[in-house]
């Protein structure tokens, strides 16, 4: 395989890759586009984290996190920060720093308790002396359990805690000041010079969890023009209600734009993708499907609390679906180690298949998701995805509020999280948000893999040796996240041009080679979704003999993989989707690295390292990247 240049991978044609799906094409930008000195109509990948919590979030705060939004942005830009625990002199006992800064970040603190945390930690506030606030300061973990239970109330019954006053008025008032801090921090971090060194997005998390079934969405705004207050589960307990608020407070304005990004459907016990059908909202129909597609162009496939691609043993599964699965199906399960299997429809692959059924029935697909990943860090440390030196991410799992962790630094089933990657002309809010809208996006499980894919009806196999790979890709078809164009006369099957570059890593932590390149296909057989995975490049045995005692990666594998692949089983009468998966060779997981560092031999009597000898805890991982899909509809579909 020829090693083509990064420039060859990055090139694209100006104006190529039009937005797809159901979107609002209104120009809502408040900044000039283009504006960056490094604007490149031959788009390039920008790496970031769209799911970050700081001390403003109740769960992070009660676990000892002190970093605030401005600190999170400093960390994302490459500065070292201290994290809990702290000495009596307020000196952090741990310091973390990214070896490579991020290009963009959104701080997404939970909307539900922004005002509550502020009231309980501000002397003289109306609620400072309330029993729940005293408990938060003196027994944070108990307070978290007591307060956070409000987010598990059934839909239609969720309400602000009593300490918030009538109708939550005191918390709403205090929350406005905190929301101001969120907005100010994002503005201060955003590089508005033409250097465009870093992009910040104003955002928050809507954290509904009826019965602890996760319905959480990150809410990301396109510009600095945002509603006066964030909408919480206590304000609107259905996703449709959240979208109502966002319509009224943002989308009805000419300069405000917003998307919502669902995450951790694997902890929703079948609820995330089950459309609401009750007296509050109409039964699912074409209009509701279209609205969901407009509001939610992306889904977070991977993060700290597990992988959401596919469930092992389901009808959609393949041999690599066991990657980073958590043995829980609700938020309570993740927090309390209550083990239960999720349902296949909690996973993106099955949901994409379900979307084909919706398309067939209503003529619109509510689940036409592009794909990203992020960390869900609760330490205020966006992009901290390295398996080496992983300190834990807080939120669910053990914290380190008062003492350094004994043994493993996190729940052994959790992981360091992933990254969102956006193909954009420039590193600006306008450029990156356009990429999100058109779904020219992908997610990685942490490494900075460069993944590019195009679909058309006649790509030449020689593209893989061409210096203008991406230019040919745009000229001859469409990028990831897009519907296939109509087939020209004589075309019999779509062709996919796919390229992947391994993450070179850093001098201290070199990256791992690629093992294989795959295309995951779903199609509709009558009314039944079917699935198949095709190996289109690489060697599935590369690196399989990893020695977990030393964790040395021997270099077997590829630094780049490229394939021009035509679907050999294409049926022009069947709706279908395809997405790409690039997979590294096996490497040691964070748990195994910490077990080796502690010289644990099995069996062990040290309970803090019991997971080192637990057969259910993987010793190795295979990091990967997932592209946004391509879709095909038969003529007239």
Secondary structure (DSSP) of 36-68 = -TT--SS-EEEEEEEEE--TTSHHHHHTT----
pLDDT, one tens digit per residue, over 483-498 is 999 999 989 999 999 9
Environment class of 486 (CB within 10 Å of its CB; exposed 0-12, middle 13-18, buried 19+) = exposed
Average pLDDT over residues 510-539: 97
Instruction: Identify whether residues 451 and 433 lie together within a single domain.
Output: no
**Residue 299 maps to which CATH number?**
3.20.20.140
Nearest to 207 by CA among 181, 173, 231, 183: 231
More confident position, 222 or 278: 222
- Distance CA(408)–CA(617), nearest Å, equals 12
Within-domain flag for 548: yes
Percentage of the chain surpassing pLDDT 90? Answer: 88
* Residue whose pair of structure tokens reads 């006066």 in the numeric block: 228
Q: What pLDDT does 287 receive?
A: 87
Q: What pLDDT does 147 receive?
A: 95
Total residues found in the chain within this entry: 637
Domain boundary among 443, 473, 500: 443
Give the residue numbers spanning the domain of 524. 447-586+622-637
By mean pLDDT, which of 190-194, 283-287, 478-482, 532-536 is the weakest? 283-287
- Distance CA(409)–CA(398), nearest Å, equals 8
Average pLDDT over residues 93-116: 98
Q: What pLDDT does 283 receive?
A: 54
Within-domain flag for 597: no
Q: What pLDDT does 286 receive?
A: 84
Neighbours of 318 (CB within 10 A): 16
Show the tokens assigned to 240: 């449709």
Instruction: Identify whether residues 419 and 519 lie together within a single domain.
Output: no
Average pLDDT over residues 73-78: 98
Neighbours of 282 (CB within 10 A): 12
Within-domain flag for 333: yes
Q: Give yes or no for residue 19 having a pLDDT over 90.
A: no
Contact 375, 98 (CB under 8 A): no
Instruction: Identify whether residues 421 and 472 lie together within a single domain.
Output: no
Contact 109, 117 (CB under 8 A): no
Domain boundary among 443, 474, 508: 443
Average pLDDT in the chain: 92
Instruction: Identify whether residues 127 and 33 lie together within a single domain.
Output: yes
Instruction: Identify whether residues 436 and 481 lie together within a single domain.
Output: no
Angle at 108 between CA 103 and CA 112, to 5 degrees: 175
Contact 385, 417 (CB under 8 A): yes
Instruction: Identify whether residues 103 and 245 lie together within a single domain.
Output: yes
Instruction: Identify whether residues 418 and 473 lie together within a single domain.
Output: no
Helix (H) or strand (E) holding 336: helix 331-336
Instruction: Identify whether residues 407 and 517 lie together within a single domain.
Output: no
Q: Hey, CA dihedral for 567, 571, 572, 578, is it positive or negative?
A: negative
C-alpha gyration radius of the chain = 23
Nearest to 221 by CA among 256, 181, 176: 256
Within-domain flag for 14: no
Show the tokens assigned to 590: 């964070």
More confident position, 28 or 557: 557
Q: Cα dihedral angle (5, 6, 8, 13), rounded to 10 degrees?
A: -170
Within-domain flag for 109: yes
Neighbours of 52 (CB within 10 A): 34
pLDDT, one tens digit per residue, over 333-391 is 999 999 999 999 999 999 999 999 999 888 899 999 999 999 999 999 999 999 999 99
Q: What single string gives the DSSP state of each residue in 473-504? A: HHHHEEETTSBPPPPPTT--S-EEEEEEE---
Instruction: Identify whether residues 120 and 225 lie together within a single domain.
Output: yes
């Amino acid at each position: 395989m020829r090693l083509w240049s990064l420039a060859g991978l990055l090139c694209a044609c100006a104006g190529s890759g039009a937005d797809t799906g159901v979107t609002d094409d209104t120009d809502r930008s408040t900044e000039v586009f283009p504006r960056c000195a490094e604007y490149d109509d031959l788009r390039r990948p920008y790496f970031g984290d769209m799911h970050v919590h700081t001390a403003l979030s109740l769960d992070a705060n009660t676990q000892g996190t002190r970093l605030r939004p401005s600190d999170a942005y400093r960390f994302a830009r490459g500065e070292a920060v201290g994290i809990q625990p702290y000495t009596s002199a307020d000196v952090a006992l741990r310091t973390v720093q990214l070896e490579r800064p991020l290009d963009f970040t959104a701080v997404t603190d939970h909307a539900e308790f922004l005002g509550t945390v502020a009231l309980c930690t501000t002397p003289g506030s109306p609620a400072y002396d309330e029993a729940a606030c005293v408990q938060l300061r003196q027994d944070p973990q108990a307070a978290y359990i007591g307060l956070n239970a409000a987010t598990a109330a059934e839909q239609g019954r969720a309400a602000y805690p009593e300490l918030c006053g009538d109708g939550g008025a005191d918390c709403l008032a205090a929350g406005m000041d905190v929301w101001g801090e969120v907005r100010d921090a994002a503005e201060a971090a955003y590089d508005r010079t033409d250097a465009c060194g870093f992009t910040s997005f104003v955002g928050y998390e809507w954290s509904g969890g009826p019965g602890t079934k996760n319905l959480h969405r990150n809410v990301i705004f396109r510009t600095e023009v945002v509603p006066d207050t964030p909408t919480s589960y206590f304000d609107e307990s259905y996703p449709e209600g959240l979208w109502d608020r966002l319509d009224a407070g943002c989308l009805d304005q000419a300069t405000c734009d917003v998307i919502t990004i669902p995450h951790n459907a694997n902890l929703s016990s079948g609820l995330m993708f089950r459309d609401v059908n009750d007296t509050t909202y109409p039964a699912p129909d074409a209009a509701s499907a279209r609205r969901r597609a407009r509001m939610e162009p992306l889904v977070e496939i991977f993060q700290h609390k597990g992988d959401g691609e596919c469930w092992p043993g389901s009808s959609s599964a393949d041999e690599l679906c066991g990657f980073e699965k958590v043995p829980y199906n609700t938020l309570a399960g993740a927090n309390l180690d209550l083990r239960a299997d999720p349902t296949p429809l909690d996973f993106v692959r099955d949901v994409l298949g379900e979307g084909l059924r919706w398309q067939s029935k209503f003529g619109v697909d509510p689940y036409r998701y592009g794909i990203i990943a992020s960390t869900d860090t609760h330490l205020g440390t966006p992009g901290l995805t390295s398996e080496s030196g992983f300190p834990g991410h807080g939120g669910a799992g053990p914290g380190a509020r008062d003492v350094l962790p004994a043994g493993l630094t996190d729940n052994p089933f959790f992981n360091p999280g992933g990254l969102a990657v956006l193909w954009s002309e420039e590193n600006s809010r306008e450029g990156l948000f356009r990429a999100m809208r058109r779904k020219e996006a992908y997610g990685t499980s942490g490494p900075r893999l460069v993944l590019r894919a195009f679909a058309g009806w006649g790509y030449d196999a020689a593209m893989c040796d061409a210096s203008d790979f991406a230019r040919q890709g745009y000229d001859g078809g469409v990028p990831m996240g897009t519907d296939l164009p109509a087939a020209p006369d004589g075309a019999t099957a779509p062709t996919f041009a796919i390229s992947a570059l391994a993450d070179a890593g850093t001098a201290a932590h070199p990256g791992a080679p690629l093992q294989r390149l795959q295309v995951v296909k779903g199609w509709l057989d009558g009314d039944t979704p079917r699935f198949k995975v095709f190996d289109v490049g690489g060697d599935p045995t590369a690196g399989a003999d990893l020695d977990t005692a030393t964790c040395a990666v021997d270099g077997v594998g590829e630094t780049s993989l490229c394939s021009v692949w035509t679907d050999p089983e294409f049926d022009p009468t069947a709706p279908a989707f395809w997405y790409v998966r690039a997979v590294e060779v096996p490497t040691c997981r964070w748990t195994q690295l910490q077990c080796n560092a502690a010289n644990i031999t099995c069996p062990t009597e040290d309970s803090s390292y019991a997971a080192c000898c637990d057969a259910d805890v993987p010793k190795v991982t295979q990091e990967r990247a997932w592209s946004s899909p391509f879709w095909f509809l038969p003529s007239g579909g």
